[in-house]
Amino acid sequence: MTRIAFIGAGSIVFSKNLVGDILSFPELSDSEIALMDIDEHRLAQTTNVAEAMVEQGDVDATIESTTDRREALEGADYVLNMINVGGTEPFENEIEIPRKYGVEQAIGDTLGPGGVFRGLRTIPTMLDIARDMEELCPDALLLNYTNPMAILCWTMFEETDIETVGLCHSVPHTASAIAEYIDAPQDELDYWVAGINHMAWFLECEWDGLDVYPLLEEAMEDPETYEKDTVRFELMKHFGAFVTESSHHLSEYLPYFRTDQEEIDRLTGTQSAGRMPTATYLEGWKERSEDRDNALAEVDPDEVSIERSEEYASRLIHSLETDTPRRLNLNVSNETDAIQNLPSEACVEVPCLIDGTGVHPCSVGKLPSQLVSLIRTNVNVQQLAVEGAVNGDRESIHRAIKLDPLTAAVCTLDEAHEMTEELLEANAEYLPELT
């Protein structure tokens, strides 16, 4: 019987989807699923739904529910990490303080001041989880869903003995978008994608044996299609490849798109996928807070059923447990030089072969020079953020922010320094000790 621990299970919709994914495989339908969250109310909602899925799906899984992390981790084979540390207050600081300095972040959870500081406040808890795992389930695989993906996974690779992979749905989401733009069935696309989380590139993409890039270039000429994904089409036009992140999220990882309000307005377009205003995710987070507390009003336990979503976690677990070969894009250490022109210590998102023997990153070779150059600007920030967090080094954090592409596009070095000091002071209670 496979034991799977969910850490941060209070997000009812995401947890429901992942539980349903696991139960959808007959070989995993008798799993022990341990749901853990520090919020008793939200945990109870998720537990209610998970138990209903087991009962109504007539499967033999066992659902446990606890606010004790160590209890959930005891004897686990797999640990799914979905935590959020600090809640709304630091998140708001990470958006609004940089905004005063002209740093207009749309999301703020992956790179930039928001991503760095979200990483800083999350890393201590991630390391605590790893220490518990080293004691209670040392052979378990940690599947991380929490952002900033690269910063957190990089820390785990360097600072713990726990095998860690990062999971993100940006690759299948992007494949779905490409299929829509060229009017092709998504399941008929064949692709080879590599880079880093939220900046991986469709190096190859074929439909019925034909390269789809000419079709994408043709689709981009249609104004309605262009407005659905303005930033990604602009990058494809100038750098020659389609990237794995939505336009409004991607816009904050680069220096080109968020320094002028007229350009932000131009690129926002009329489609929701093209949104670019500042703080879109923060505002949505605050609006959804009440919904999260009253999730059972939206998710009726009597109506839930076992269905499989596009998320990778259950497929990964199923391959490892049943020796079923699969290829998934995962976030892993570059220690095998899967991408030869990125640092070996970096966290990269590459195709991985999974079977009963484990997770095996594929060799991608060298990325095209222009693509790896864009990636390195992000990796530089990630590396210094990790160094700052694990060494308690304030100066490394300052340097990470000063090297951030968006910050550097709008701030002087002194302004970036002042902004970082303000962020450090505002969020001190959530951060590791710094010298």
Q: Which residue has the tokens 């087991």?
A: 54
What are the distances in angstroms from CA 419 to CA 107, 117, 382, 383, 424?
Answer: 18, 12, 18, 20, 9
> How many degrees, rounded to 5, is the angle at CA 276 between CA 275 and CA 277?
110
Concerning whether 169 is annotated as a catalytic residue, the answer is: yes
- CA 410/CA 333 separation, integer angstroms: 32
CB 360 within 8 A of CB 354: yes
Q: Which amino acid is at 153?
A: C
How many CA atoms does the CB half-sphere of 416 hold within 13 Å?
20
CB atoms within 10 A of CB 87: 12
Within its chain, how far is the Cα of 399 from the centroid? Answer: 23
Length of the chain, in residues: 435
User: Strands, E, within 76-217: which ranges?
Assistant: 78-81, 141-144, 163-166, 189-196, 199-207, 210-211
Q: In Å, how far are 99, 141, 206 from 330, measured between CA atoms?
A: 32, 13, 21
**How would you class 185 by CB atoms within 10 Å of its CB: exposed for 0-12, middle for 13-18, buried for 19 or more?**
exposed
> Which residues, in sequence order, are CB contacts of 341 under 8 Å at separation 6+?
366, 367, 372
Catalytic one of 41, 169, 173, 398? 169
Q: Please report, for residues 177, 221, 266, 289, 347, the alpha-carbon distance to residue 215 in angstroms, rounded to integers and kept in the order given.
A: 13, 10, 24, 41, 32
Determine phi and psi for 163, rounding to 5 degrees. Answer: -70, 125
Distance CA 36, CA 5 (A): 7
Contact present, 72 and 34 (Cβ < 8 Å): yes
- Phi, psi of 203, rounded to the nearest 5 degrees: -70, -35
Query: Which residues are part of the catalytic machinery?
Result: 169
